[in-house]
A = this chain, B = another copy of it.
Amino acid sequence: MTTSVAEAVPGFTCGLDATLRVIAGKWKPLIIYFLIQGPCRYGALKRAVRGVSDKMLIQQLKELEADGIVVRRDYQEVPPRVDYSLTPLGRSLAQALVPLCNWGSDNMEAVARMFSEREQWQASPTGDR
């Protein structure tokens, strides 16, 4: 039984639901978005996605690869050279992320303000009113 129906089938409740499962994970959207710029070596990607650990980066990349969003190309060289790029599917997904990115840029100040307020609001003893 457990969580039941909604989980049982790959029956997504809507398109957004489907998308969310693909980009679930702290770093995936950032990875995808960064790869719009073109193929990228592992090291460069790691530098671009600030704060990500090796473990996470690799893991997310693997999942994205399994989901047909990115392609891994191994040059079979030493020292290792590998790069990652978007598949056509991945590119279309990346395009869908663009508005989110723009929204963030447009409202960054508001968002930053909200966040700092929220921290205090969390620390406050009782809700007012």
Interface residues of A (CB under 8 A from B): 3, 5-7, 10, 12-23, 29-30, 33, 50-51, 63, 66-68, 89, 92-93, 95-108, 110-112, 114-118, 121
Contacts and interface: CB of A to CB of B under 8 A. Distances in A.
A107 to B, nearest CB: 7
B50 A105 contact: no
A30 B33 CA distance: 21
A66 B114 contact: yes
A114 B66 CA distance: 7
Contacts of A121: 66
Contacts of A13: 30, 50
Contacts of A22: 104, 111, 114
A18 B108 contact: yes
Q: Which 9 A-B pairs have the closest CB atoms?
A: A15-B104, A15-B105, A19-B104, A18-B104, A6-B51, A96-B99, A16-B101, A96-B103, A10-B112
A98 B15 CA distance: 9
Nearest to A92: B103
A100 B19 contact: yes
A51 B107 CA distance: 31
Given A22-B111, A96-B99, A111-B22, A104 B17 contact: yes
